[in-house]
Structure 1
Amino acid sequence: MAENGTVVTEFILMGLQLWAELQTGLFFVFLVLYLITIGGNLGMIALIQSDRCLQTSMYFFLSHLPFLDICYSSIIVPQLLETLGTDQMVITFEHCTIQFFVTLCASTECVLSVVMAYDLYGAVSNPLLYATAMTPQTRLGLVARAYGGAMVNSVIRTGCTFSISFCKSNHMDFFFNDLPPLLKLACSETRPRERVIYLLAFLVITTSVSVIFISYLFIIQAILKIRSAGGKAKTFSTCASHITAVALFFGTLIFIYLKGNMGKSLGEGKTVSVFYTVVIPMLNPMIYSLRNKEVKEALKRVLNRMKVSQVE
């Protein structure tokens, strides 16, 4: 613990202290969740790449979400497992660069969710024009902009962290070095930085949610005009998986950043952070496979091909 103005250069993660009696059990729980996450998301990427019927713009954008989910888990969970398995809870200040990659993944997923909603709107409302407008170059350009915009947000957020002085306690009440708990340990003025962080989070989240909401209003209007009951059901199943994933992801972000007390309710924040960094990346492949008719059909085709190859 830092005293008498001593500059803090390392932090002790105390977020799992209350779960000390369950440490061994939690280690295996998080390990299993991590393995399921990696396997499920890699499987989703492989399925999209191997099935010709999924070689569309929507699934091109969708294939980036499993990649981001793998990155989420690989940034957070190994550190969590190390803490649970070895009681090694000390991290250096330089290790706070982990925030850069967490923010990069979250921001990219926000923008890609918007792109997917707009893509769905174009595919449903005007499929002929959409087919000619959404070229491979356009897809790559949209994805590049998503990563580029997320990169800017990540640089600003990480810059705010490295410009803070820490000379209070080095005991961080969290299970990874996120910015809200770091702000509670600062001895320098943090309000200007908090305003910048909050403003960026507000702009990214509210803009994304607004565009997605408006896109789906037009999508629903276009679906209702489809005469075929089968066509309606297929389109609704595609939209349902995206809406479910978006609701889970943005719901947790809104709770953390737009609740109005960022960094003050760390008890609730720990639970929500576990949910969006560990649980949601594991659930997303299930959501897109179980609630999406095209993905389920593609999975059946792949399994059938595997059975045929084994017989031969």
Structure 2
Amino acid sequence: MMNQTLVTQFLILGFSETPGLQILLFPAFLLLYMVALSGNLLIVLLIGSSPALHTPMYFFLVNLATVDILCTSTILPKLLGSMVAGRTISFGGYMAQLFFFTWSLGAELLLFSAMALDRYVAICRPLHYGALMGPGVCVLLASAVWAVSLTNTTVNTVFTGRLPFCGSNVVEHFFCEIPPLLKLSCAPTRLNEAMAFTADVVLALGSFSVTMLSYGCIIASILRIRSAAGQRRAFSTCSSHLLVVSMYYSTVVYTYIRPASSYALDKDKVVSVVYTSVAPSLNPLIYSLRNTDVKAALRRVLSRSRGLCAPRGPATSPLEGGQQAPPRASLP
């Protein structure tokens, strides 16, 4: 037990002290947040209101959109506020943002694996798709995704929050993350680093392996398609998905799966923009809005909206003299 002045709030440095650069970054991050929020909310509303989209694939897309909303709403509003107001955050606020961000990060990694497995069964084992991916299985997979990621973030947040912080309170990042916080602790962090490293290896590398293996089988199945047009359509879809998945996993692995002593926070926070802001903005476009079924559902919703907004005619009969129209003959 030592007499220490404990840190009660942190100063988030953000990206730059230069006012001119802040003016450029604010609209960029505001645009990313609006695109991510509106795109993912649109996906949730479209799938929820369209019975034709109540299938396993779109069920997982709703979960992915929910995760992206959670991630961006945890990070970007505070970042935007810090650009125009104070950049300090309380210790409790830091832990809260850390908790929800880590939760969304783990859930997104696991959801990519669940979605890849769903596509593998649909393409490689179509005759067994209904039995293997029934409603109960989908709910069980989604529940496991949220529960495992919640357990991971609870353990890491609790052990990180118990560390003493009695020196510098300057966080060289633009949001609350484990690596920059460990560098500020005035106590050994080897246990925390080992726990975070183990969780990241299991979640990131394990999910990445499952995803790549599933897509490898999918591509092998596509190569057996005799139609060249069918192969092009399938490869177009898979290439878009693989681009997003590879971008997300590569940045997460680069940031987390290495010793804390090798962190270069000035460079790492630029890489973090990919999985906190760019990927949630691209996911609705890549996974959903390029899909013909989703576009058809969007057209139906827009047509219903126009029908509701169209002016209605008089309630009385249009015949002169108030005469009623003769009854129509009913079909047998």
TM-score (norm 1): 0.89
User: Which residue of 1 is the match for residue 87 of structure 2?
Assistant: 89
**What's the CA shift string for 1:80-107, capped at 9, x where partnerless?**
1111111x11111111221111111111
User: Which residue of 2 is the match for residue 171 of structure 1?
Assistant: 170
Aligned to 2:17, the other structure's residue is in SS state helix
Aligned-pair identity in percent equals 39
Task: Tell me how far 1:222 sits from its aligned partner.
Answer: 1.8
User: Which residue of 2 is the match for residue 135 of structure 1?
Assistant: 134
User: Which residue of 2 is the match for residue 285 of structure 1?
Assistant: 284
- Across the aligned residues of Structure 1 and Structure 2, the Cα RMSD in angstroms comes to 2.3
Bigger CA drift: 56-65 or 291-300? Answer: 291-300
**What's the CA shift string for 1:111-143, capped at 9, x where partnerless?**
111011111110111112111221111111110
User: Which residue of 2 is the match for residue 146 of structure 1?
Assistant: 145
**What's the CA shift string for 1:38-74, capped at 9, x where partnerless?**
1111112222233444322111101111111111111
> Structure 2 vs 1, CA of residues 13 and 117 (structure 1 numbering), >3 Å: closer, same or farther?
same
User: Which residue of 2 is the match for residue 79 of structure 1?
Assistant: 78
> Structure 2 vs 1, CA of residues 236 and 49 (structure 1 numbering), >3 Å: closer, same or farther?
farther
Q: Do residues 212 (structure 1) and 211 (structure 2) align?
A: yes
- Report if the CA contact (8 A) 1:288-1:295 is conserved: no
- Report if the CA contact (8 A) 2:68-2:280 is conserved: yes
Structure 2: gaps (5+ residues) = 312-332
- Report if the CA contact (8 A) 1:237-1:292 is conserved: no
Task: Tell me how far 1:282 sits from its aligned partner.
Answer: 1.4
User: Which residue of 1 is the match for residue 323 of structure 2?
Assistant: none
Bigger CA drift: 39-48 or 205-214? Answer: 39-48
> Structure 2 vs 1, CA of residues 19 and 67 (structure 1 numbering), >3 Å: closer, same or farther?
farther
- Report if the CA contact (8 A) 1:37-1:282 is conserved: yes
Q: Do residues 35 (structure 1) and 34 (structure 2) align?
A: yes
Q: Do residues 44 (structure 1) and 43 (structure 2) align?
A: yes
Q: Do residues 202 (structure 1) and 198 (structure 2) align?
A: no
Q: Distance in 1 between matches of 2:35 and 2:77?
A: 14
- Report if the CA contact (8 A) 1:169-1:185 is conserved: yes
How many residue pairs match? The answer is 308
Q: Distance in 2 between matches of 1:262 and 1:113?
A: 30
Structure 1: gaps (5+ residues) = none
Q: Distance in 1 between matches of 2:223 and 2:298?
A: 28
Task: Tell me how far 1:265 sits from its aligned partner.
Answer: 0.7
Aligned to 1:167, the other structure's residue is in SS state coil
Bigger CA drift: 94-103 or 224-233? Answer: 224-233
User: Which residue of 2 is the match for residue 226 of structure 1?
Assistant: 225
Task: Tell me how far 1:300 sits from its aligned partner.
Answer: 4.8
User: Which residue of 2 is the match for residue 105 of structure 1?
Assistant: 104
Q: Distance in 2 between matches of 1:263 and 1:98?
A: 24
User: Which residue of 2 is the match for residue 157 of structure 1?
Assistant: 156
Amino acid at match of 1:276: Y
Task: Tell me how far 1:154 sits from its aligned partner.
Answer: 0.5
Bigger CA drift: 188-197 or 281-290? Answer: 281-290
Larger RCO, structures 1/2 (Cα 8 Å, 6+ apart): 1
TM-score (norm 2): 0.84
> Structure 2 vs 1, CA of residues 171 and 68 (structure 1 numbering), >3 Å: closer, same or farther?
same
> Structure 2 vs 1, CA of residues 174 and 224 (structure 1 numbering), >3 Å: closer, same or farther?
same
Task: Tell me how far 1:289 sits from its aligned partner.
Answer: 4.1
User: Which residue of 2 is the match for residue 275 of structure 1?
Assistant: 274
> Structure 2 vs 1, CA of residues 49 and 234 (structure 1 numbering), >3 Å: closer, same or farther?
farther
Q: Which has the larger radius of gyration?
A: 2
Amino acid at match of 1:172: V
